[in-house]
Structure 1
Amino acid sequence: MDPLRDGWLWWAIAIGVGIPILLVVLTEILGALVRRGSPAAKPVRLLRNWVVPVGALLAVLAFASLSPADLVWVRVVATVFGFLLILLLLSALNVSMFGNAREGSWQQRIPQIFVQIAQLILIVVGLALLFQWVWGADVGGLIAALGVTSIVIGLALQNAVGGVISGLLLLFEQPFKIGDWLDTGSVQGRVIEVNWRAVHIDTGSGIQIVPNSTLSGASFTNKSLPAGPFSATTTVKFTTDDPPHEVVALLAEVAKSLPMRIPDEPAGAEYLGGGVYTVTLPIQGPDLEQRALSLFLSWLWYAARRRGLALDGDATDPIAEPGRLEEALDIVGPTLQLGAEDRDRVLASSRLARYGVGEIVIPAGVVPDEISFIVQGRARFTAEAGGGRLDVATAEPGDYVGQTALTREKATLTVVAADVLTVLVMPLSTVDELVRTRPRLASEISASIDLRRKQAADAVASAGAAAGTMQLR
């Protein structure tokens, strides 16, 4: 027997020299792809670790050793090698089509489950062809039997299968994603899970399971789309006697103070006629819609009565009842050191006002034109520091706010109603008369202004030190 003439020696030399060189080249390529984070590293790793070694073994058995092709162990190795080739081709196809898909492209939008089902079908078809070629198996009858069986199973489970198909269609269309806020009419909440059968929605009071067949057969609203600021809309009604420009200004002022409003996004207010107004509130997300509308409407109730406007056709204010102003003056009288004559002057020029919880009484950076004396409730002095608001001090009944009106200076702290707050509002002219005749009151107010200014500076300094400590850590 001549080894050169039979050819097996050339195969042995080619396998013994070529395979190590090929493995070294593939190792270098794989290392470069891994360092770059390329998705092509997966099929290259499969080629180096499995396809090449098993292919070399098959070449040794079938060509180098000249073993008969119908031997069982040659067929087994050929089957394994064919299966690995199928996996390699599918992996390479997956990388080429989906590995570098751009955001928003059709490749990126296809659910992974669709890709996996297609891969499974291709693997089954490839294995059928492989067994037919290597083992000579008749797979036609098996495929026919599987087809009939699938039809029977599909008819028996058509309701369940319908839900699964609806789920797959929803996954493919992707009208919403995890985290979006849905309103189906009967259910409203945030999507926390999407599977083949149902969508799980967190309503805030529990998890509502909505079948995919229900969603696919009805209309629903995705409040998280389009991307950008979310707007909560409500309609309010005043009387036709209320000047529209004053009402629109009031609506914008109340909306501007909402804590969940998006900064630098103005609220919208439009007059529809007949005393009806529509208000659009730009807020940070649909999950805050109910809270924002509730807070806006409650603050609007207090603000409308302070302005004498008739929200819902009613302008009456409970604190405007006779005798309430005198009762309030009994509480703040010791602070003002009032005599009988001064008391009458204050009663003639002052008024009572009420604020809802969280409303801004006096914003920082403005010059007040009135001084307010707290009758009931508490107020918080807050300073803006470190990207948020810090509580600096608290004012109790008998204390006063807005004292920088006397010095014509801007307020250094924001005054916020900590409770439902009732204040006695006194015009600046009346306070000026009282201060001129009471040096002690003037001294107390001056000392209070200095104290608030120091508290604001200390709060800002403390916030800066805390931020520096966090950065050091």
Structure 2
Amino acid sequence: MSSVVDAPWFYWAIAVAVGFPVGLVLLTELHNALLRRNSALARPVHLVRNYILPLGALLLLLVQAIQISGEATPVRIVATVFGFVVLVLLLSGLSATMFQTAPDGSWRRRIPSIFLDVARFALIAVGVGIMLAYIWGANVGGLFTALGVTSIVLGLTLQNSVGQIISGLLVLFEQPFQLGDWIETPSARGRVVEVNWRATHIDTGGGLLIMPNSVLAAASFTNYSRPPGTHSLGVTTTFAVDDPPDDVIAMLNRAAAMLPQLRPGATPSSVHAGGLQYSTAVPLRTPADDFAAKSMFLRWVWYASRRAGLHLDEADDEFETPERLRASLRIVAPTLRLSQDDQQALLPRVRLTRYGADEYLQYSGQVPKRMMFIVNGKVRLAATDNAGGLIPVRTLEKGEFLGQTTLTLEAVTAAAYALEEVTVLQLDREVIEDLVARKPLLLQEFGRAIDERRASLRRALAAAGE
């Protein structure tokens, strides 16, 4: 009588009885460790522990321990389920190891999703074919032959359409642009808002342009967002031939340096481009700021050129007329305690200028060389917080003044910018000194204004938590 140990199923039963629980314990610990590390491999290990290992153990028991024929329907069903789970494991493991853990910018990250879908479909088709052939004994050769012939016929029929799709997919694979990039094509300029396997959607500001990827693949285009931090806006201006080039360049650089769209840490530059033209390069944070920055720059240059006595577009400034000067002196006369004779005497010693909306009249920390009296418009005094933002302090209107520390040669503590077009009457330091020498009460009023504005600044900073 033969011993149980000599039975062919004995060692298979022992292997399953011991190996199955040990494998469960090891895979459980590995799965928990991968979960703590947020690893993409946790899901494949979960599939192995919960499905592959139990089904494999069951299949071994049926075929080796119980010795049921492999052609039996229960065995084929278990083997088919086991094969499907292995196929799912291969797909999950391939995705986790090849693509989910791929570093940014690598070729694995740039592969379009449609390529992955095609690869998954091919893998599933091969896996199902193998299971049908080896488990169920089906003849899959004829099926694959028919599919191959059908694919060739469809490829020849749709070769133009397929060629466009492939060229578009190559653009996606190379990724010369990403979502949010600003590009200029032969037909449009705008921001990329969507990219799929067929077309690129570009927001032009006046609508959404749908451009096939095959068109982009066959044409040249400019990506203004790459490399990052290098975009500059170029603006060309024209001045009179008699305007000193150095004065024009200095004025253009001052205007560009105060643009809110200027890239932090960057410096604009202007050059004489020959003839009457000057070119200014303004480094910007993003191409999205081009339109706003150019509009504001040209508007500020219009005002700044007239204040500097320059001739933008060869035009003369005829704003400062004797009539306007007299009218402006009458507006500020109560503030400066001016009589009619005083106004007449000051007429050749004052200057009437204008500032555009959002343009700065003075900067925090600046030592003013003259006082400015508001004739028309509104000016906002503002302090600068630790983050570089502006904290409103107060609003100055017609008849009020700026630059009162010109007499004490102290730096101003608050910046001032125009809320709208502002007309100011400028009096140099020497003129103010003559006035306060003859009118001592003016000096007291200027001193009181300095103290009041410093107190307003402290209250504004305290309210903002600075």
Give the whole-Å Cα distance in 1 for the aligned partners of 2:152 and 2:245: 68
Matches within 5 A, 1:336-347: 336-347=336-347
Tell me the residue number matched to 1:137. 138
Tell me the residue number matched to 2:326. 326
Matches within 5 A, 1:458-473: 458-464=459-465
- AA aligned to 1:415 is A
Give the whole-Å Cα distance in 1 for the aligned partners of 2:69 and 2:352: 107
Give the whole-Å Cα distance in 2 for the aligned partners of 1:159 and 1:457: 72
Tell me the residue number matched to 1:28. 29
* Alpha-carbon distance change, 211 to 422 in structure 1, aligned in 2, over 3 angstroms: same
* Alpha-carbon distance change, 386 to 164 in structure 1, aligned in 2, over 3 angstroms: same
Tell me the residue number matched to 1:470. none
- AA aligned to 1:378 is K
- AA aligned to 1:348 is P
Q: Secondary structure at the match of 2:15?
A: helix
Tell me the residue number matched to 2:112. 111
Tell me the residue number matched to 2:11. 10
Q: Secondary structure at the match of 2:319?
A: helix
Give the whole-Å Cα distance in 2 for the aligned partners of 1:95 and 1:196: 23
Give yes or no for contact 2:393–2:456 (8 Å, CA) kept in 1.
Answer: yes
Q: Secondary structure at the match of 2:262?
A: coil
- Residues 290-337 of structure 1: CA deviation (Å, up to 9, x unaligned): 1001101110011001111111222x2242234121121121122222
Tell me the CA shift for residue 386 of structure 1: 4.3
Give the whole-Å Cα distance in 2 for the aligned partners of 1:451 and 1:117: 74
Tell me the residue number matched to 1:356. 356
- AA aligned to 1:230 is H
Give the whole-Å Cα distance in 1 for the aligned partners of 2:167 and 2:330: 71
Give yes or no for contact 2:112–2:197 (8 Å, CA) kept in 1.
Answer: no
Q: Secondary structure at the match of 1:443?
A: helix
Give yes or no for contact 2:193–2:203 (8 Å, CA) kept in 1.
Answer: yes
Tell me the residue number matched to 1:268. 269
Q: Secondary structure at the match of 1:33?
A: helix
Tell me the residue number matched to 2:244. 243
Tell me the CA shift for residue 354 of structure 1: 0.6
- Residues 161-205 of structure 1: CA deviation (Å, up to 9, x unaligned): 444333322220111111111222432222221111222222334
Tell me the residue number matched to 2:365. 365
Give yes or no for contact 2:190–2:205 (8 Å, CA) kept in 1.
Answer: yes
Give yes or no for contact 2:255–2:297 (8 Å, CA) kept in 1.
Answer: yes
Tell me the CA shift for residue 85 of structure 1: 2.3
Give yes or no for contact 1:190–1:201 (8 Å, CA) kept in 2.
Answer: yes
- AA aligned to 1:274 is G
Tell me the residue number matched to 2:427. 426
- AA aligned to 2:234 is T
Give yes or no for contact 1:229–1:285 (8 Å, CA) kept in 2.
Answer: no
Matches within 5 A, 1:195-274: 195-274=196-275
Give yes or no for contact 1:239–1:275 (8 Å, CA) kept in 2.
Answer: yes
Give the whole-Å Cα distance in 2 for the aligned partners of 1:88 and 1:429: 87
Give the whole-Å Cα distance in 2 for the aligned partners of 1:111 and 1:227: 23
Give the whole-Å Cα distance in 2 for the aligned partners of 1:211 and 1:115: 21
Give yes or no for contact 1:299–1:356 (8 Å, CA) kept in 2.
Answer: yes
Q: Secondary structure at the match of 1:20?
A: helix
Between 337-346 and 297-306, the greater mean CA deviation after superposition: 337-346
Give yes or no for contact 1:356–1:420 (8 Å, CA) kept in 2.
Answer: yes
Q: Identity over the aligned pairs, expressed in percent?
A: 47
Tell me the CA shift for residue 154 of structure 1: 4.2
TM-score by length of 1: 0.93
Give the whole-Å Cα distance in 2 for the aligned partners of 1:204 and 1:58: 63
Tell me the CA shift for residue 440 of structure 1: 2.5
Give the whole-Å Cα distance in 1 for the aligned partners of 2:99 and 2:153: 35
Give yes or no for contact 1:386–1:460 (8 Å, CA) kept in 2.
Answer: no
Q: Which runs of 5+ in 1 are unaligned?
A: 466-473
**Is 1:374 aligned to 2:379, yes or no?**
no
Q: Which runs of 5+ in 2 are unaligned?
A: none
Tell me the residue number matched to 1:293. 294
Give the whole-Å Cα distance in 1 for the aligned partners of 2:406 and 2:230: 37
Give the whole-Å Cα distance in 2 for the aligned partners of 1:164 and 1:98: 23
Tell me the CA shift for residue 267 of structure 1: 0.7
* Alpha-carbon distance change, 454 to 168 in structure 1, aligned in 2, over 3 angstroms: same
Give yes or no for contact 1:229–1:262 (8 Å, CA) kept in 2.
Answer: no
* Alpha-carbon distance change, 137 to 318 in structure 1, aligned in 2, over 3 angstroms: farther
- AA aligned to 2:309 is G
- AA aligned to 1:187 is A
Tell me the CA shift for residue 416 of structure 1: 0.3
- CA RMSD for the aligned pairs? 2.0
TM-score by length of 2: 0.94
Q: Secondary structure at the match of 1:299?
A: helix
* Alpha-carbon distance change, 201 to 332 in structure 1, aligned in 2, over 3 angstroms: same
Give yes or no for contact 1:299–1:359 (8 Å, CA) kept in 2.
Answer: yes
Tell me the CA shift for residue 144 of structure 1: 2.2
Q: Secondary structure at the match of 1:320?
A: coil
Tell me the CA shift for residue 389 of structure 1: 0.2
Between 351-360 and 148-157, the greater mean CA deviation after superposition: 148-157
Tell me the residue number matched to 2:168. 167
Tell me the residue number matched to 2:77. 76
Give the whole-Å Cα distance in 1 for the aligned partners of 2:304 and 2:264: 22
Q: Secondary structure at the match of 2:384?
A: strand
Tell me the residue number matched to 2:283. 282
Give the whole-Å Cα distance in 1 for the aligned partners of 2:138 and 2:326: 104
Matches within 5 A, 1:28-107: 28-107=29-108
Tell me the CA shift for residue 99 of structure 1: 4.7
Give yes or no for contact 1:368–1:410 (8 Å, CA) kept in 2.
Answer: yes
Give the whole-Å Cα distance in 2 for the aligned partners of 1:391 and 1:159: 63
Between 24-33 and 104-113, the greater mean CA deviation after superposition: 104-113
Q: Secondary structure at the match of 2:416?
A: strand
Tell me the CA shift for residue 17 of structure 1: 2.2
Between 208-217 and 277-286, the greater mean CA deviation after superposition: 208-217
Give yes or no for contact 2:229–2:285 (8 Å, CA) kept in 1.
Answer: no
Tell me the residue number matched to 2:150. 149
Q: Secondary structure at the match of 1:225?
A: coil
Give the whole-Å Cα distance in 1 for the aligned partners of 2:65 and 2:318: 104
- Residues 272-303 of structure 1: CA deviation (Å, up to 9, x unaligned): 22132211111121111110011011100110
- AA aligned to 2:379 is A
- AA aligned to 2:394 is A
Tell me the residue number matched to 2:20. 19
Give the whole-Å Cα distance in 1 for the aligned partners of 2:275 and 2:360: 30
Aligned residue pairs total: 464
Between 249-258 and 233-242, the greater mean CA deviation after superposition: 233-242
Give the whole-Å Cα distance in 1 for the aligned partners of 2:465 and 2:318: 44
Q: Secondary structure at the match of 1:92?
A: helix
Give yes or no for contact 1:233–1:279 (8 Å, CA) kept in 2.
Answer: yes
Between 198-207 and 439-448, the greater mean CA deviation after superposition: 198-207
Give the whole-Å Cα distance in 1 for the aligned partners of 2:442 and 2:322: 28
**Is 1:441 aligned to 2:454, yes or no?**
no
